[in-house]
């Protein structure tokens, strides 16, 4: 399995995130990357595929906002990372603004996803890792894209959940542009990939299946319910405390559903925040469960790209990722 990582992804260094009424140290830190690289060995640098594959699925205005947001924040006399604090209500008409405060609210879904001076650079190179991973898969080798920051909460024109660019969807659309008619995306992060679900709606030939914590109890709350299922989306929400036997049974259903469409390529959004010791999540998978989880996915027999999403038990994160990759 080929592994892709770029040191410029360290440029994203959020100091804090705001939730539950207070500032907390940012859970999405570069220490996550150190843990993973120490466990899986050396990685190769991605090629630069430019912004065209990003613009294929993300709104051009949103991408331009990510590039300039922190500069505008500083120009407005602010310090530190840029945080939104006001949001348009549902169905509010879109407006053009000349104020960073309004732009942040228009392009964000939460207050836990700050934009710093290196956020765009890190997100850009994370996407390039996913794109290079697709190229490797099309060339005959499974691949792992060590994407940081993660991506599955980012939508066409919004950031959230520590995510700025949706690496899984960027990769799927690039695979289609390179000739794969049907692509499957399987999300096995603790939290629902709301951005992926939103974006798949606009992509013919792409199916999305997700196993995640029940959004009645966990972020992102407003997406990921089973009654949203249809021809393109298959959500399998699970209760807090889920252990591997129940998780594996749901995973089997997700794999069977994806296989019905006879995809030519699989993108896996992998989050190790399903681990029993994760500080912000509530499933109960163990390190020795991850090879079996991956084995279930590998049994589909599809060329596979794995993109990294969440996982915040830093000391265990590397071993958990290594265990998962070993299943392929």
Catalytic residue annotation: 153
Which phi and psi (to 5°) does residue 206 adopt?
-120, 125
Contact 312, 279 (CB under 8 A): yes
- Cβ-based neighbours of 262, under 8 Å, separated by 6 or more: 182
CA distances from residue 319 to 28, 290, 315 in whole angstroms, order as listed = 18, 10, 8
Distance of alpha carbon 311 from alpha carbon 297, whole angstroms: 19
Which residues on adjacent β-strands are paired with residue 143? 2, 305
Please spell the DSSP secondary structure of 85-137, one letter per residue: ---PPTTPPP---S-HHHHHHHTBS-SS--B-TTHHHHHHHHHHHHHHHHHHH
Distance of alpha carbon 164 from alpha carbon 184, whole angstroms: 21
Q: What is the DSSP letter of 94?
A: P
Contact 284, 242 (CB under 8 A): yes
Distance of alpha carbon 114 from alpha carbon 99, whole angstroms: 17
Distance of alpha carbon 246 from alpha carbon 51, whole angstroms: 40
Contact 241, 214 (CB under 8 A): no
Q: Which residue has the tokens 């799927």?
A: 172
Reduce the DSSP state of residue 290 to 3 states and report it. helix
Contact 129, 4 (CB under 8 A): yes
């Amino acid at each position: 399995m080929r592994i892709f990582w770029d040191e410029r992804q360290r440029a994203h260094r959020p100091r804090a995130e705001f939730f539950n009424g207070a500032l907390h140290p940012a859970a999405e830190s570069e220490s996550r990357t150190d843990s993973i690289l120490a466990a899986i060995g050396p990685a190769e640098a991605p090629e630069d595929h430019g912004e065209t594959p990003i613009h294929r699925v993300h709104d051009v205005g949103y991408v331009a906002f990510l590039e300039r947001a922190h500069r505008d924040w500083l120009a407005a006399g602010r310090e530190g990372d840029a945080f939104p604090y006001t949001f348009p209500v549902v169905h509010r008409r879109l407006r053009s603004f000349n104020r960073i405060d309004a732009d942040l609210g228009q392009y964000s879904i939460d207050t836990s996803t700050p934009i710093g001076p290196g956020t765009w650079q890190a997100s850009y190179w994370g996407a390039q890792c996913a794109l290079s991973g697709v190229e490797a898969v099309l060339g005959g080798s499974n691949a792992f894209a060590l994407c940081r920051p993660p991506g599955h909460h980012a939508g066409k024109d919004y950031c959230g959940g520590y995510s700025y660019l949706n690496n899984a969807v960027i990769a799927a659309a690039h695979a289609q542009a390179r000739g794969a008619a049907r692509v499957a995306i399987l999300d096995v992060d603790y939290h629902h990939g709301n951005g992926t679900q939103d974006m798949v709606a606009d992509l013919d030939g792409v199916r999305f299946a997700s196993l995640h914590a029940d959004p009645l109890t966990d972020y992102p709350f407003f997406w990921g319910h089973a009654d949203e299922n249809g021809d393109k989306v298959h959500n399998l929400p699970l209760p807090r405390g889920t252990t591997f036997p129940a998780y594996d049974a749901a995973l089997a259903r997700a794999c069977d559903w994806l296989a019905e469409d006879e995809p030519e390529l699989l993108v896996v959004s992998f989050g190790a925040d399903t681990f029993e010791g994760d500080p912000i999540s509530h499933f109960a998978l163990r390190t020795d469960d991850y090879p079996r989880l991956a084995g279930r996915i590998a049994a589909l027999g599809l060329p596979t790209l794995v993109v990294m999403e969440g996982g915040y038990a830093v000391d265990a994160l590397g071993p958990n990722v290594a265990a998962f990759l070993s299943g392929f």
